[in-house]
Structure 1
Amino acid sequence: MSYYHGIKTSEQATTIKPAVNTEGCLPVIVGVAPIHLATDPAELNTPVLCYTYAEAVAAFGYKPNFGDYGIAEAIYTFFSLYGVSPVIFVNVLDKSKHKMAVSAAQLVVTDHTVTIKADVLKDTLVVKSSEATLAVDTDYTASFDDDGSLVIALVSSSSHYSDETLTVSYDKIDPSKVTTEDIIGGIDAETGKEKGLEVINTIFTKLGVVPGMIGAPGYSDNAEVAAVMASKAASISGLFKAVSIIDGSTTVAKKYTDVYEWKNKANITSKYQVVCWPMATMGTKKLHLSTVFMATQALLTYENDDIPYKSPSNKTAQIDGICLSDGTAVELGLSSANYLNGNGIVTAINLFGGWKLWGNNTACYPTNTDPKDRFFCVRAMFNWDQQTFIRTYWTDVDQPMMKRYIQSIIDSENIRMNGLVSSGVILAGSCEYREADNPATSIVDGISHIHKTFIPPVPNREIDVVYEFDSEQYAALMTA
């Protein structure tokens, strides 16, 4: 050691670890997008994190045809109606497969333009005048209008500018060819790339964020899709948990009394599922209630410091009605809505100041009454806290198994729990290393068991007030 005379300083790592920031209820939408309208199209079966409407539209396109394009519906709901972000989108529509050819047809030119009300793939467009094939950008331009229709405009400098008819052929997107198998996905046998819902397992490694809610509007009422969604939600990347938000069928279950039977037949009974019924309306648009639920929850979580401890039930829903998929209006009173809630189904009602989501229970209710499983907000809190714990202490894995390392985790976590209690987010929480849970056989195998208690508040779903007429006080007042 070299000779030193004076004062010197050094630093060591802080024993108490601050918690990492996590996404309280980050929504993921797997579905179909009008990708032919995108200016910077996202890759097929690739998760894209979008913070703005412009980002989402550039990556996935937008067309107000929500019956065909669930991702367009989600873009409208999250960004336009609720103004909440970010959202992760995964498009499964394959332009090379989900399409159909349209034979050549003669169209009348009006004001030097022809409008095609179809989802045209521009790179397949062939425009002819008599027997001559017109050149794009020389004889004509082709662009999409706000409704997604293709407008062919003849160029004034072209010799075809005054043509009265054009013969046009093209391929067009056919979203009806997207199947439940495309949504479910899996691993591509040729490329080894994840597809559909399987992509969810790649989100953390690709984007560094963790899904909190999973939706597939337009497909989640399929029993197999719903089951796979629950499976993915229960184990994301083998580490994290989320909740899948399911739509109850409005074609099989057309009355509120039919939904419970549909739910049971479809075996939608997981604590990692929330069932929403029926659909919702906003103006002339029909929205899946699952999308509305996810947007409402995302906004509520954002407003509460990204901690999902409040229930979205009885919170304002940006809708003006509820309906079946065919547009038939649904009327639900409080007793009808409560019947749905009592069977583990979330709905919406119009009481005391406009439309509200109504229901706290996940799909496991009424079979499972464990508060951490049945109440959505409590389930979301357990998912959130486990996510936070994993991401905060991951670097402690493979550190030397010594008491001071374990104690630093315990101390850090108890400080965090005390902070959550002080801020009114949870009622109590503690973390401890118990000798009884850690036998020598586990210790020498490099396994430490930590016990944690965690008590988020349950929603006050019923307020029961007893009124009494006090006759004795009445008599006293009369004789006073």
Structure 2
Amino acid sequence: MAANFLHGVETIEIDKGPRPIRGVKTAVVGLVGTAPIFQVDGALASLNKPVLIQSDRDAARYFGTQIEGYTIPQALDAIFDQGRGIVVVVNVFDPETHVTAQAAKDVTFGADETADLGHKGVFGLVLTDATATTTYVAGTDYTLDPATGIVTRLPGGAISAAETVKAAYDFADPEKVLPSDIIGAVDVSGNRTGMQAFLDCYAEMGFWPKILIAPVYGTLTSVTAELDVMAGKLRAIALADAPIGTTMAEAIAGRGPNGSINFNTSSERMVLCYPHLKVYDLATDTERLEPYSQRLAGVICAVDNDEGYWVSPSNHDIKGIVGVERRLSAMINDPTTDVNLLNENGIVTVFNSFGSGLRVWGNRSAAWPSVTHPKNFIPIRRVADMLHESVELSMLQFIDRPINQALIDDIRESVNSFIRTLIGRGALIDGKCSYDPAKNEATQIAAGHLVFDIEFMPPTPAERITFESFINIELLNQLGGQ
């Protein structure tokens, strides 16, 4: 109340009562990899910066088309094939750094007046005659399309029709990208690179990516380990693939200390994917292999949007694929099948039986079988993350308010209202937020510290259904009309 004298009437607005809590976004993929940014408009090209992509048009506009050796365009196509979702993309490929020098080689102009240098993303072209005594001039004798590596002979120039010339140049080479580029760091200017750039997402976009992938590079133990670290920081899950060519036995052995692949982890935030998937390649009219993780990320987004983040991605169709790298036996009622054995060891795989199509198969993270707590179920881990983060972020409006009974009631009822909403949606079986005076001693409150308890239980996936069958001879009494 104002201390000054007033002969009259005044109104003072007081904020009290529970506040609505907004759930955080869950169907957000964090993708780190390489893109042929020499294809895109220079103003749109990005390096080590998170870029929000919401459609296939955005994907091509900001990160180019699918070219062998580059991971981002292929991964975006795989994600959007599944339906809906948004992707935060970090490109680490730098055409100025990740290049290879091509020594002078012979190229011949064809009947269409063009010559293909054999590489895409070409820079610093030096074109000479066959004896290397005459250097041709760009714009006078020829033109170059750097994105395609196509040189066109200009009429009236010094290059003769069908002439064989020597070409020396630098070309963009994604094989120069190292695991350290994908993992990233903080440079001397304070800029984050690689997957570390995901830490800038909330400040720039208001949300974090919740499904992390690094296709191709995610088969490396070093990258898998850092994906796990980043997932912990962001309250996300991370998807890792076994390397191409891994046998089922090697995938399972990879869960142990003597395994030769990146599967030896018991993190509840890591999802282990096996095997690679087959897709049809439009450019080559052949089948090619691609990482399972990028398709699974898209499936998770689609399930989040269509059914809810509390629903497991398991037993949902994988769209846009024509097969799997290795044939795996699959029967819903046979525990000895390949897919059941993989699931038993904490590996998410592909179910493909008669008439079933190709489906995600597996509910558990890499925490299984080491951790038997329900949080080894992928959807339960994600529900807990969403609940905790949503509640925490909503508390900004209560921070630094005077501690009194009204504040305690407002906080408790705000959380309980949110929990009731989640129960109504099916995300929780039950739950509540409570204030325990025994955990809030006077000295603690005097220090400005309040403690609340939250207990909750998400629905577990119906991973196993058992029927107990009995032959009951008493049912024979129905014969003869008795």
TM range (shorter): 0.7 to 0.9
2:240 is matched with 246
* CA 1:103–1:435: 2 relative to 1, 3 Å: same
> Secondary structure, in 3 states, of the residue corresponding to 2:219?
coil
1:316 is matched with 317
**Residue correspondence of structure 1 range 407-418 to structure 2 within 5 A:** 407-418=409-420
1:419 is matched with 421
Q: In 2, are the aligned partners of 1:139 and 1:161 still within 8 Å (CA)?
A: no
1:26 is matched with 28
Q: CA deviation at 1:93?
A: 1.8
**Residue correspondence of structure 1 range 19-58 to structure 2 within 5 A:** 19-40=21-42, 41-58=44-61
CA distance in 2, matches of 1:161, 1:389: 72
CA distance in 2, matches of 1:158, 1:264: 66
Among 182, 192, 197, the alignment partner of 1:199 is 197
CA distance in 1, matches of 2:344, 2:105: 56
* CA 1:94–1:423: 2 relative to 1, 3 Å: same
Q: CA deviation at 1:356?
A: 0.4
2:185 is matched with 186
2:305 is matched with 302
> Secondary structure, in 3 states, of the residue corresponding to 1:187?
coil
Q: In 2, are the aligned partners of 1:129 and 1:163 still within 8 Å (CA)?
A: no
Paired AA for residue 416 in structure 1: F
2:357 is matched with 354
1:123-147 deviation per Cα after TM superposition (whole angstroms, max 9, x unaligned): 4233345655444455433337xxx
2:296 is matched with 293
1:44-86 deviation per Cα after TM superposition (whole angstroms, max 9, x unaligned): 2111111122222222222242xx222122111123x224231
CA distance in 2, matches of 1:430, 1:340: 36
1:290-321 deviation per Cα after TM superposition (whole angstroms, max 9, x unaligned): 111111001111113xx410000001111221
Q: Are positions 1:171 and 2:170 aligned together? A: yes
Q: CA deviation at 1:474?
A: 2.9
Superposition RMSD on alpha carbons, in Å?
A: 2.4
**Residue correspondence of structure 1 range 44-443 to structure 2 within 5 A:** 44-65=47-68, 68-79=69-80, 81-110=81-110, 111-121=112-122, 123-128=123-128, 131-143=133-145, 149-156=148-155, 158=157, 160=159, 162=161, 164-188=163-187, 190-236=188-234, 241-251=235-245, 253-254=246-247, 256-265=248-257, 266=262, 267-283=264-280, 284-304=287-307, 307-318=308-319, 319-323=321-325, 329-334=326-331, 335-351=337-353, 352-372=355-375, 374-443=376-445
> Secondary structure, in 3 states, of the residue corresponding to 2:312?
coil
CA distance in 2, matches of 1:169, 1:98: 17
Q: In 2, are the aligned partners of 1:120 and 1:170 still within 8 Å (CA)?
A: no
Q: In 2, are the aligned partners of 1:250 and 1:277 still within 8 Å (CA)?
A: no
CA distance in 2, matches of 1:64, 1:349: 30
Aligned residues: 456
CA distance in 1, matches of 2:444, 2:156: 82
1:461 is matched with 463
1:11-54 deviation per Cα after TM superposition (whole angstroms, max 9, x unaligned): 55463222225211311011122222233443321111111222
Paired AA for residue 201 in structure 2: I
1:239-260 deviation per Cα after TM superposition (whole angstroms, max 9, x unaligned): xx11111112344x31x23212
Which structure 2 segments of 5+ residues have no match?
281-286, 332-336
Q: CA deviation at 1:10?
A: 6.9
CA distance in 2, matches of 1:176, 1:340: 32
Q: In 1, are the aligned partners of 2:99 and 2:176 still within 8 Å (CA)?
A: yes
Which structure 1 segments of 5+ residues have no match?
324-328
> Secondary structure, in 3 states, of the residue corresponding to 1:366?
coil
2:334 is matched with none
Name the TM-score, length of structure 2 as normaliser. Answer: 0.88
* CA 1:142–1:15: 2 relative to 1, 3 Å: farther
* CA 1:403–1:127: 2 relative to 1, 3 Å: farther
Name the TM-score, length of structure 1 as normaliser. Answer: 0.88
1:376-426 deviation per Cα after TM superposition (whole angstroms, max 9, x unaligned): 011011111112112222232233333322321211111111122122221
CA distance in 1, matches of 2:343, 2:143: 54
CA distance in 2, matches of 1:143, 1:399: 62
CA distance in 2, matches of 1:450, 1:273: 29
> Secondary structure, in 3 states, of the residue corresponding to 2:272?
strand
CA distance in 2, matches of 1:15, 1:42: 48
CA distance in 1, matches of 2:388, 2:139: 56
CA distance in 2, matches of 1:78, 1:29: 10
1:190-243 deviation per Cα after TM superposition (whole angstroms, max 9, x unaligned): 33322222222222122222111111111222222211111111123xxxx111
1:326 is matched with none
CA distance in 1, matches of 2:400, 2:124: 56
Q: CA deviation at 1:450?
A: 1.2
CA distance in 2, matches of 1:222, 1:388: 33
* CA 1:126–1:421: 2 relative to 1, 3 Å: same
* CA 1:133–1:402: 2 relative to 1, 3 Å: farther
> Secondary structure, in 3 states, of the residue corresponding to 1:425?
coil
Q: In 1, are the aligned partners of 2:26 and 2:386 still within 8 Å (CA)?
A: yes
Q: In 2, are the aligned partners of 1:99 and 1:173 still within 8 Å (CA)?
A: yes
Q: In 2, are the aligned partners of 1:347 and 1:357 still within 8 Å (CA)?
A: yes
Q: CA deviation at 1:166?
A: 3.7
Paired AA for residue 108 in structure 1: T
Q: CA deviation at 1:452?
A: 0.5
